[in-house]
A = this chain, B = another copy of it.
């Protein structure tokens, strides 16, 4: 969470001149989103979020992300809706960066999700998968199986400094996943980063999903495996099967998994754990000087990976037969 870019009044007013939002009443940097700079914008016409896309977002991907939010919102998924400028476009430039304004979404992300939150999240994930079905644009997953070896190579030499034996353990897992990764599961648009930070609730009820900047095309069940990792483990590292069951039930209430997806769940969960282990390991070893964001501990995901390695069949996740 950070505000990276300073925006001058003049630049802001010039940018907002392209919209019909009324006078600016307030403008504050907010501590939300790791990848981009976000500002809360209060105009006469309401509250909005202004996002400046920083280096880690490829500008060529922005039409996919913006278009996806428009597509999903039009299909009643609660997510930020990009606001169009007078010229009909949703993307502009501010302070030298691509920038967009989206509607302000009420809700609070939960730090300690309970089973009900997991159930609601599973259901919303399935809703997103169904709503994304007829989205016209595609974006490859740049953090998929075939990218993991390169990602690993960038950290391998220093991996054992984080945990002795880690390089060998990752190499073995990578070899396993390359042999066993399922290639013929149902595909579609996945969120790919639906952590508790990115799901808003008002009270017990889910109010919306945010941060679609990792969204891409991949196996739908892989997205669910990412969520099981992100939502259903306790702080002590234990898998909470009650939460897992709630999430799987919530998902299947809208989109039942097919037999192949059910069978693949343990290997998908291993892959999802390895993907976050690898990116966190890289970030851990490459903290830029003066960084405002403390990297997340990669070893949390090593623990999750080891848990999934011990799973014999999908029922152990709480998946009903």
Residue numbers of A with Cβ under 8 A of B are 1, 3, 8-10, 23-32, 40, 42, 104, 106-108, 110-112, 200, 202-203, 292
Contacts and interface: CB of A to CB of B under 8 A. Distances in A.
Given A29-B30, A292-B292, 9 more contacts: A3-B31, A8-B111, A10-B112, A23-B202, A24-B202, A25-B108, A26-B106, A26-B108, A27-B108
Nearest to A106: B25
A26 B292 contact: no
26 contacts: A1-B3, A1-B29, A3-B31, A8-B111, A8-B112, A9-B110, A9-B111, A10-B112, A24-B202, A25-B106, A25-B107, A25-B202, A26-B104, A26-B106, A26-B108, A28-B30, A28-B31, A28-B40, A29-B31, A30-B30, A30-B31, A30-B40, A31-B31, A40-B40, A42-B106, A292-B292
Number of copies of this chain in the oligomer? Answer: 2
Contacts of A112: 8-10
Contact of A28 (B8, B10, B32, B42): B32
Nearest to A29: B31
Contacts of A203: 23
Per CB-CB distance, the 10 closest pairs between chain A and chain B, nearest first, are: A29-B31, A25-B106, A3-B31, A28-B30, A26-B106, A27-B108, A8-B111, A30-B30, A9-B111, A292-B292
A108 B32 CA distance: 20
Contacts of A23: 202-203
Contacts of A28: 30-32, 40
A23 B200 CA distance: 14
Contacts of A108: 9, 24-27
A107 B42 CA distance: 9
A223 B249 CA distance: 63
Nearest to A25: B106
Query: Most B CB atoms within 10 A — which of A42, A108, A200, A202?
Result: A108
Contacts of A32: 28-29
A106 B3 CA distance: 20
